[in-house]
Amino acid sequence: MKAKTELRVTGLGAPGLVRTVEEDLASVEGVEYAHVNLGAGKVTVEFDDSVVGVDELLGAVRSAGLEAEQE
């Protein structure tokens, strides 16, 4: 089932990290869309929650060396 969540991400200061986070999330099976709002420090993710859960989304962000939590 299609779901949407926002993740608060700490440490998104560098523009290169924005692309890394979006690409890392997009590569997770079940993720349909990931967009970083640098000013707000948030990532909006649309995903199929029958395929992937929020914990996996957080893990993808953390793999980039950033701290993340569900909004």
Q: What is the pLDDT of residues 14-42, one digit of tens each?
A: 778 899 999 999 999 999 999 999 889 99
DSSP one-letter string for 16-54: HHHHHHHHHHHTSTTEEEEEEETTTTEEEEEEETTT--H
In the chain, % of residues over pLDDT 90 = 80
Confidence of residue 13 (pLDDT cuts 50, 70, 90): confident
Domain extents for the chain? 2-70
Task: Provide the CATH number for the domain formed by 2-70 in this structure.
Answer: 3.30.70.100
| Residue 35 confidence (pLDDT) | 96
The structure tokens listed for 66 are 């950033």
| Residue 69 confidence (pLDDT) | 96
